[in-house]
Amino acid sequence: MGDNRPIGIFDSGVGGLTVVKSLLEKLPQESFIYFGDTAHVPYGSKSEQELMRYAREIIAFLLDQDVKAIIVACGTHSSITLPRISEQYDIPLLGVVKAAASCAVKTTHNGKIGVVATRATVNSRAYTGEIQRLDSSLKVYETACPQFVPLVEAGKLEEEETREAVSEYLQPLLDLGIDSLVLGCTHYPFLTKVISDFTGEGIEVIDPSCKTVDQAIDIFSRQDLFNQQDQACFRKFYVSGNDESFYNVGRLLIGDTIKEVHKVRISKA
Ligand code: DGL
């Protein structure tokens, strides 16, 4: 039987494309609809109330497109809104926090885990809660990196200012002796090269996107949701704000999977 409907994916901007990259590798036969909420990027500085409104509007939009599941490809929504709303929908909704936490728990040897994420995510302590739920003996140090999202949205992946920001945010975590670093915002894996150059070989850098797609695979096999039809699948990209920058930077990040970007207005406010 299976299910040939698309998967819905969303983030504030290009960050969720890290999850798209993993999806293309692991589930190339699946159609998907990506929504980048570029009218509201960055999410890291938004209030819980604002984030709740955005989440509900985006999910309503994706449900209107008849998606079979939604991947919340955003650390901020996965930390703050997803735990409050996931039970309210009758399709699977999955985020990146659980995937990252289970990876970090398996990776660390010395029990000291660093998490870099947006300010809203760090304030929620969602990563610490999830990691310590799995192993309460672990120490978790969370740091907000507000410069990273604007740098990635501008396509500045290896510039000098990016290296400076990486050093400013990560040195204090290295001083604390972490051996694993969770990239707790989906934009950050696009900075992996600069981050790994800075942290060196002794630190495992964890990108939750791959594990998140593994969780989707698990749910799809349990609920018979894989696309089993031979017809060509489709990939659509929508944004709420700047479409040109999403197109240009998005193609820089994941190539010509992005053929066109549609600007839509979904907000009732
Ligand atoms: N990529 C998102 C996250 O993982 C949103 C970042 C932002 O817009 O501040 O948190």
CB atoms within 10 A of CB 198: 16
In testing the pocket of ligand 1, which one of 46, 50, 185, 245 has its CB within 8 Å of the most ligand atoms?
185
CATH number at residue 193: 3.40.50.1860
**Is the same domain home to 107 and 159?**
yes
Tell me if 76 CB under 6 Å of ligand 1: yes
- 2 within a domain of the structure (yes/no): no
Q: What is the pLDDT of residue 226?
A: 96
> Total structural domains in the chain?
2
Q: Could you tell me the distance, in angstroms and rounded to a whole number, from the CA of residue 74 to the centre of ligand 1?
A: 5
Q: What is the pLDDT of residue 269?
A: 63
Number of the ligand 1 atom closest to the C-alpha atom of 45: 9
Low-confidence ranges of the chain (pLDDT < 50): none
**Is the same domain home to 127 and 255?**
no
pTM reported for the whole predicted model: 0.97
Tell me if 44 CB under 6 Å of ligand 1: yes
Q: Whose CA is nearest to atom 2 of ligand 1?
A: 74
Tell me if 149 CB under 6 Å of ligand 1: yes
Q: Which one of 186, 208, 230 terminates a domain? A: 208
What is the helix (H) or strand (E) element at residue 190, kind and residue range?
Answer: none
Provide the residue range defining the domain that includes 61.
7-95+210-263
Q: What is the pLDDT of residue 267?
A: 79
* C-alpha span between 268 and 229 (Å, rounded): 36
Tell me if 57 CB under 6 Å of ligand 1: no
* C-alpha span between 45 and 263 (Å, rounded): 23
- 268 within a domain of the structure (yes/no): no
- 269 within a domain of the structure (yes/no): no
Q: Is the dihedral of CA 180, 186, 191, 193 positive or negative?
A: positive
Residues 59-79: pLDDT tens digits? 999 999 999 999 999 999 999
**Is the same domain home to 41 and 167?**
no
Q: What is the pLDDT of residue 1?
A: 82
